[in-house]
Amino acid sequence: MFHLSQVEHTLRVPPDVLNLPLAEAIKRVLETIFVDKVIPNVGLCVSVYDIVSIKGGFILPNEGAPTYLVVFRVILFCPAVGEVIEAKLQRSIDTGLQLSLGFFDDIMVPCKLLPKPSNHQPDPEMSGGVKWFWTYQNQQQYYIDSHDKIRFKVVDVKFREVPAEPATEKPFAPMVVIGSLAYDGLGPVSWWVDEAESEE
C-alpha cells in the first residue's frame, strides 16, 4: 500500500526560508509542493522521506532566490491490485459505494462489484443516499452502513489527466482506487465476525 519512490526536481527556494539550514529549507518547500498531491502514474505523496542530493544554488536572471536540482525520496500511497484493505463508508448511492481511509477518500466500489445479489433502499439518514444490502440464501439480509469497517479488494488504480476546464459539479480526483466486495471475507467486518460466532 505504501512504498518509497525517488524523484528529481528543479526547485526554487524562496527568500523567506533561506534563514533555515539548506536541507531543512528545501524539505519544507518540497512538502508544500508534493505532500497530499498525486504524482501521475505513481501515487499519492504522503510524506517527504529524505533528501538524497542537492546540486546547484544558481540564481536565474530576474530571480531573487536560488534554484537547486534536488533528488529526494517520498512515501507514496498506491495500493497493489489484489491487495485487501479496510476502510470506512463515506457515501452510499445507487451506483455503488465511496470508501475512505481518512487521508484518501477516492475509493469507489461500483454496484457490479458488490456481493451478489445486492440491492438498495432509500436511506432516511442520508439526503439522496441509499443503503445497500446483500441477500444471503434468499433469506438473511446483510446491510452495509457507516458503523462498521469495510474490507475490500483492490481491482484497479486509475490515474486521470487534469481537465483543461475546471469541473463545477464535483471535485476532480486525479487518482481513483476501484474496489470489490464480491469475494468471501469482504464487506463489513461484522458480517464475517457474526458468521464465525454462529459456527462455533
Q: What is the pLDDT of residues 167-184, one digit of tens each?
A: 556 678 999 999 999 999
- The domain defined by 2-77 folds into Dna Ligase; domain 1 (3.30.1490)
> pLDDT band at 194, cuts 50/70/90?
low
pLDDT at position 128, please? 62
pLDDT at position 139, please? 79
Q: Domain 83-191 has what CATH class?
A: mainly beta
**Region of poorest pLDDT, from 42-46, 57-61, 91-95:** 57-61
pLDDT at 162 over 80: no
Q: Are 67 and 12 in contact (CB under 8 A)?
A: yes
Question: One-letter amino acid identity for 145?
Answer: D
**Rounded distance, CA 88 to CA 127, Å?**
19
pTM to 2 decimals? 0.85
**Rounded distance, CA 117 to CA 105, Å?**
26
Average pLDDT, the chain: 89
Of 120, 114, 141, nearest to 132 (Cα)? 120
Domain range summary for the chain, segments of one domain joined by +:
2-77, 83-191
Q: Length of the chain, please?
A: 200
